[in-house]
Amino acid sequence: MIFRDRTDAGKILAGHLGQYADRRDVVVLALPRGGVPVAFEVAEKLNAPLDVIIVQKLGTPGQEELAMGAIASGNVKILNHYVIEQLGISQAQIASAVAHEQKELQQRERFYRGDRPPIDVSGRIVILIDDGLATGSSMRAAAAAIRQRQPSQLVLAVPVASESTCAELKEEVDEAVCAVTPMAFYAVGQWYQEFSQTTDQEVRELLTRAAARMPHAA
> Cα(201)–Cα(204) distance, rounded to whole angstroms?
5
Other C-beta atoms lying within 10 Å of the C-beta of residue 86: 11
Residue-level pLDDT, tens digit, the chain, 218 residues: 799 999 999 999 999 999 999 999 999 999 999 999 999 999 999 999 999 999 898 989 888 878 898 898 878 888 889 899 999 999 999 999 999 999 999 999 999 998 898 999 999 999 999 999 988 878 988 998 899 899 999 999 999 999 999 999 999 999 999 999 998 888 999 999 999 999 999 999 999 999 998 766 65
Q: Which residues contact 190 (CB under 8 A, 6 or more apart)?
A: none
Q: Helix, strand, or coil here: 74?
A: coil
Q: Which residues contact 211 (CB under 8 A, 6 or more apart)?
A: 49, 50, 116, 217
Name the strands in the sheet holding 26-30, side by side, starting at the edge strand that comes first in the sequence. 50-52, 26-30, 125-129, 153-160, 175-180
Q: Which domains does the chain have, with CATH numbers?
A: 6-55+115-213 (3.40.50.2020), 56-112 (3.30.1310)
The DSSP call for residue 186 is -
Cβ atoms of 127 and 50 closer than 8 Å: no
> Cα(101)–Cα(105) distance, rounded to whole angstroms?
6
